[in-house]
Amino acid sequence: MSAHAEAIASARGPGFFRRLCRSRAAVLSMLYIGLIVLLAVFAPLVAGYDPMVGGDDSMLPPLSPGHWLGTDDLGRDVWAQTVYGARVSLMVGVVTAIFAVTIGVVVGGLAGYYGGWADTVLMRVSEFFQTLPRFVLALIVIALFGSGLWKVIFVIAILSWPQTARLVRASVSSLRQQPFVDAARVGGMGDRALLLREILPNVAAPIIVTGSLDVAAAILLEAGLGFFGLGDPNHISWGSMLNEAQQYLRIAWWMSLFPGLAIALTVLSFNVLGDALNDALNPRSRVRS
Amino acid sequence: MSTPILEARGVSQLFPIRSKQRLFARTTMQRAVDGISVAIHPGEVVALVGESGSGKSTLGRMMLGLLPPSEGSIHFRGKALAALSAEEARTFRREVQVVFQDTGASLNPRHTIAQSVAIPLLHNLGMRGPEVARRVDSLLDQVGLAPGRFRDRLPHELSGGQRQRVGIARAMASDPSVIIADEPVSALDVSVRAQVLELMDRLRRQRQLAYLFITHDLGVVRALADRVLVMQGGRLVEAGDVDTILSNPQCAYTQRLLAATPVPDPSRQGRRLAEAMRQNTLGETPP
């Protein structure tokens, strides 16, 4: 294959993954996220214990026989809890991000493309949601309607979409004025096709990047709610583990260390992944391999 | 004289300017284009000259139907754009095409060359099936790009001159009768410029195209245009036949514009450019 043909080939599909792997931090993040996803999916197989059921041995330190991350105040296995907690965190993170991105793209796309009063109305609404103090609103909704996984997801999604909407709006309204959009309009494209085929694909990179950051933010917010005892009481989450661990901070550090580490690494990984996606998705960084 | 294909009748464009300093910003209206009338007849090349900010491109956008005029109206074959039936509007969309200056921004960075050129075929002409690919190849061929080599490439893999050829192929795809060319060569190297101009001139002769050629290069005007319009600050300051205007400019502004042209004698530069265009053969060296 000539160097020229190679350059063309690298601008296509498989090159994307290669570009994504250019950064070592991105590779580590993806490996970590992959590991967490596998643990979450196969939690019943890898946990070894029921995370909700305690045993006789309470507050065993890490590396105790049978409990390599130790046990909590009720004798529940910390490893099992952390593994099952990943299910809640990932589910809340991913589902929330999907909701937030969907609402954000629709609202931001319409506001940016049509401008005028549609823009004004939609952006004032998004500002209203942005000015709400995130945590306080989450507290109020859960205090009023009770907690539950789907309520948590709903609350976080309602709070997260404005950022995506503003970002999409800004990108769309600047892309709308690009000559290639005018050229496509002169070529006979209607509004729908222009927005869906000419404009939005060029916003895909920032959308995917904020989606990844939304996952991180949602995991953090869910952990925060869990920490204050506002998570779903029927599920173990990293936040609720921290909530219980805080009173034993001096005597059982492992109870807070492992869920804390899991939250920090997961949030960090999704942020690093977002960054790497941003670099890899930029069409101008293509070809150079 | 025949009915003009495209005509602007006393069009103005007002843009709101908001003062940013104050809390309660006062909005004033800026006249980017101020009461201009232009008529383009079949097969005619009209040059629109003026410094940047003189409203040339805004006038171009209005004539393309991309920007409704604040005052006045645009007429397509004698009928106001606002009054066109759906069928006539489709004809207008097909017959009035555009070539932009910024070759980097005028092609969607995510579309392959073939996808970009296919847009007018699919949407303006409603073409479907294998016919589309065949048309794309023949259009690329017409503008001097080997279809096999360029069809599946992305815009950033092409040079400025090659991208401009794609832009011209896309404009030609609709089989237009007028092309509004907004500084189509001012972003290109001088050597490439002559090749692209030669291509545009050849297509004009083959297809009886009319051009509204927006430019600030008087050499280009000399080489291509039949008539020239000079704009300053949104107004038309001088209009007429190319030879008359370039050899004997009446307006002080046109005289300054002539004096500011890098080569002392723009008519000589025009002849040189015309010469270069004659000698040029198609086929550019790859980037």
The whole-number mean pLDDT for each consecutive block of 10 residues of chain B, a chain of 287 residues, reads 88 82 71 91 92 86 94 94 93 95 87 95 93 95 93 92 94 95 86 88 91 88 90 89 85 78 63 69 43
- pLDDT band at A124, cuts 50/70/90? very high
> Using CB atoms, which residue from A7, A189, A202 is nearest to B110?
A202
What whole-number distance in Å separates Cα of residue A148 and Cα of residue A211?
23
Does residue A203 belong to the interface with chain B, where contact is any CB pair within 8 Å?
no
Under an 8 A CB cutoff, do A186 and B98 touch? Answer: yes
Whole-angstrom CA distances from A90 to A152, A163, A270, B107, B214 are: 13, 20, 11, 39, 56
Q: Which residues pair with residue B29 across a beta bridge?
A: B16
Helix axes A149-175, A134-145, angle to 10 degrees: 140
B27-40, strands of its sheet edge to edge = B27-40, B6-18, B71-76, B79-80
Q: Across the interface, which of B90, B97, B122 has its CB nearest the CB of A186? A: B97
Say how far residue B168 (Cα) sits from the centre of its chain: 10
Segment B29-73, tens digit of pLDDT: 888 899 999 999 999 999 999 877 788 889 999 999 999 999 999
Please state whether beta strands B45-49 and B210-215 pair in parallel, antiparallel, or not at all (unpaired).
Answer: parallel
Which of left, alpha, beta for A258 (phi over 0: left; psi -120 to 50: alpha)?
alpha
What pLDDT, on the 0 to 100 scale, is given for residue B137? 95
B81 touches chain A (CB under 8 A): no
Smallest CA–CA distance, residue B143 to chain A, in Å, is 18
pLDDT digits (tens, 9 = 90+) for A165-182: 999 999 999 999 899 999
Among B195, B251, B229, B197, which Cα is nearest to B60's? B229
What integer is the mean pLDDT of A54-75? 80
Put simply, whether B187 touches A (Cβ < 8 Å) is no
Chain B interface includes A140 (CB < 8 A): no
* Cβ atoms within 10 Å, residue A202: 18
Structure tokens at A195: 């927005």
C-alpha dist (Å) from residue A60 to A47, A235, A253 = 17, 23, 11
In angstroms, the CA A186 to CA B242 distance is 29
**Chain B residues inside the 8 Å CB shell of A286:** 154, 156
Query: Among A115-119, A156-160, A177-181, B126-130, whose mean pLDDT is lowest?
Result: A156-160
Out of B109, B157, B170, the one facing A183 most closely (by C-beta) is: B170
Q: Answer whether residue A195 shows pLDDT above 70.
A: yes
Identity of residue B32: A
Beta-strand pair B71-76/B27-40: unpaired
pLDDT at A4: 38
- Residues B137 and B159: their CA atoms lie apart, in Å, by 19
**A193 interface with B at CB cutoff 8 Å:** yes
Residues 6+ apart with CB under 8 A from B217: B185, B186, B261
Sheet with B227-232, edge to edge strand ranges: B96-99, B178-182, B210-215, B45-49, B227-232, B235-241
Contacts of residue A183 in chain B, CB cutoff 8 Å? 98, 100, 106-107, 119, 167, 170
Distance (Å) from the alpha carbon of B51 to chain A's nearest alpha carbon: 20
Q: What is the pLDDT of residue B266?
A: 62
Indicate the average pLDDT of chain A: 85
Question: Which residues fall within 8 angstroms of residue A34, CB to CB, at 6 or more apart?
Answer: none
**Is residue A97 within a helix (H) or strand (E), and if so which, with residue range?**
helix A78-114
Whole-angstrom distance, CA of residue B116 vs CA of residue A178 = 14
**B71 contacts: CB under 8 Å, gap ≥ 6:** B10, B11, B12, B14, B35
Task: Tell me if chain B has a CB within 8 Å of the CB of A183.
Answer: yes
Whether the CB-CB separation of B98 and B6 falls below 8 Å is answered with no
Per-residue pLDDT, B45: 94
pLDDT one-digit tens code per residue, B178-211? 999 998 888 888 888 888 899 999 999 998 899 9
Rounded distance between C-alpha atoms, residue A184 and residue A197, angstroms: 10
Residues sharing a CB contact under 8 Å with residue B223, sequence separation 6 or more, in sequence order: B197, B270, B271, B273, B274, B277
pLDDT computed for residue A14 by the predictor: 59
Which pLDDT value is given to residue A151? 84
DSSP A122: H
Min Cα distance A187 → chain B (Å) is 4
Q: Which of A185, A188, A283 sits opposite B109 (nearest CB)?
A: A283
Contacts of A188 in chain B (CB under 8 A): 90, 93-94, 119-120, 122-125, 174
Residue A283 pLDDT grade (very low, low, confident, very high; cuts 50, 70, 90):
low
Cβ of A188 within 8 Å of Cβ of B97? The answer is: no
Taking an 8 Å cut-off on Cβ atoms, the answer to whether A186 and B66 are in contact is yes
Q: What are phi and psi of B76, to 5 degrees?
A: -110, 120
Higher pLDDT, A284 or B83: B83
Residue A284: list chain B partners with CB under 8 A: 109, 156
Residue in chain B lying closest to A204 (CA) = B110
Say how far residue A118 (Cα) sits from the centre of its chain: 29
Chain A segment 81-120 residues within 8 A of B by beta carbon are: none
The verdict on a CB contact (< 8 Å) between A187 and B100 is: no
Q: How many Cα atoms within 13 Å fall on the side-chain side of residue A141?
A: 21
Cα separation, B226 vs B224, in Å, equals: 7
Rounded Cα distance, B219 and B190, in Å: 12
DSSP H/E element including A197: none
> Within an 8 Å CB–CB cutoff, is residue B120 touching chain A?
yes
Query: What is the Cβ-side half-sphere exposure of residue A154, based on CA atoms within 13 angstroms?
Result: 11
Most confident option among A15-29, A43-57, B195-209? B195-209
Structural contact between residues B42 and B2, judged by C-beta atoms closer than 8 angstroms: yes
For chain B, where are the alpha helices, taking DSSP H only? 56-63, 86-95, 113-123, 130-142, 147-150, 160-173, 190-207, 218-224, 242-247, 252-260, 266-279
Whether the Cβ atoms of residue B189 and residue B103 lie closer than 8 Å to each other: no
pLDDT at A275: 86
Q: How far apart are CA A8 and CA A6, in angstroms?
A: 5
> Which residue among B105, B109, B120 places its CB closest to the CB of A188?
B120
pLDDT at A3: 39
The residues that bridge with B79 in the sheet, in sequence order, are B76
Q: Which of B96, B119, B124 to mutate to test the interface with A (most CBs of A within 10 A)?
A: B119
Name chain A contacts of B156, Cβ cutoff 8 Å.
283-284, 286-287
For residue A158, what pLDDT band results from cuts at 50, 70 and 90?
confident
Residue bearing the bigger pLDDT, B149 or A248: B149
**A79 token code pair:** 């490893």
User: What distance lies between CA B209 and its chain's CA centroid?
Assistant: 12
